[in-house]
Amino acid sequence: MVAFWILAPVMVAAALGLLFARKAVHAALLLAVVMISLAVLYAVQDAPFLFAVQIIVYTGAILMLFLFVIMLVGVDASDSIVETIRGHRAASILVGLVFGLTLVLGVAQVSFGAPLGLDEANSEGNIPAVAKILFTRYVFAFEITSALLITAALGAMVLAHRERLTPKPTQAQLAAQRVRDYAEHGKHLGPLPPPGVFARHNAVDTPALLPDGTAAEASISRVLAARGTVKSAPELAEDVKALTEGDD
């Protein structure tokens, strides 16, 4: 029971954090907290098999899948605060509160009696006992889940597969395209300029300088520029000036 009273507030807090987390990554990590705590609660309640399955399947597989998809979809794909239906948020919070209160009050008033405990059922060990039930009474359902898993795997492959609509350009075609771009738009033929190497900065977020002192747009990654993490040359010059003045 000690484990329960320690973990229950943590779980509720993490679950509430799921509601308020701005970023999907934070929500995933909070969900991991809830799931690991749940695994411990399973272990406390004489279910060592489910403890292992919870850790392996939920925190190991499902949450990793969530994190991978967040990575693909974009880490900063945060929620929009705009309500599409007016009063929707207030109404759903109200409905949730009413639902939760009814559920909790209803459940709390039921007297479940003293728990029988699993000592007898687990007398030969939890895993053999679970296996005995799983492979006798529920063997058909167990076999059906294998069909379900195969269907799910195939479905995911079909959904995530991207059909190539145009043939892949060969190196010769790419070279020809590059020369054509040069002829038509005057685009530079050679490789892109590397980032700037200054006295204090030589990172990829530092633009190279052209002979006239302006930043070379092509020398920085488009992604970094879009995120706004690129330091402009005048800013760097200010930095250096502040530093040298400090020396004097």
Partner 1 sequence: MDVTPFIVLSAILFTIGCVGVLTRRNAIVVFMCVELMLNASNLALVTFSRANGNLEGQIAAFFVMVVAAAEVVVGLAIIMTIFRTRRSASVDDASLLKY
Q: Is 172 in the site for partner 1 (CB under 8 A)?
A: no
State in angstroms the smallest separation of the CB of 227 from partner 1: 17
Closest to partner 1 by CB, 90 vs 210, is 90
Separation of alpha carbons 64 and 60, rounded Å = 6
Q: Is 75 in the site for partner 1 (CB under 8 A)?
A: no
Among 30, 40, 75, 39, residue whose Cα is nearest residue 58: 39
User: Which window, 110-118, 183-191, 220-228, 235-243, contacts partner 1 (CB under 8 A)?
Assistant: 110-118
| Alpha-carbon dihedral sign for residues 101, 102, 104, 106 | positive
Binding residue (CB under 8 A) for partner 1 from 28, 220, 233, 236: 28
Binding residue (CB under 8 A) for partner 1 from 6, 123, 125, 138: 138
Closest to partner 1 by CB, 163 vs 245, is 163
State in angstroms the smallest separation of the CB of 117 from partner 1: 6
Binding residue (CB under 8 A) for partner 1 from 87, 160, 244, 246: 160
Residue 142 backbone dihedrals phi, psi, to 5 degrees: -65, -40
Q: Is 10 in the site for partner 1 (CB under 8 A)?
A: no
Q: Is 55 in the site for partner 1 (CB under 8 A)?
A: no
Q: Is 60 in the site for partner 1 (CB under 8 A)?
A: no
Calculate Rg over the CA atoms of the chain. Answer: 29
Measured between alpha carbons, how far is residue 156 from residues 27, 151, 160 in Å? 23, 9, 6
Residues making up the chain, counted from first to last: 248
Measured between alpha carbons, how far is residue 232 from residues 126, 194, 222, 226 in Å? 64, 15, 14, 13
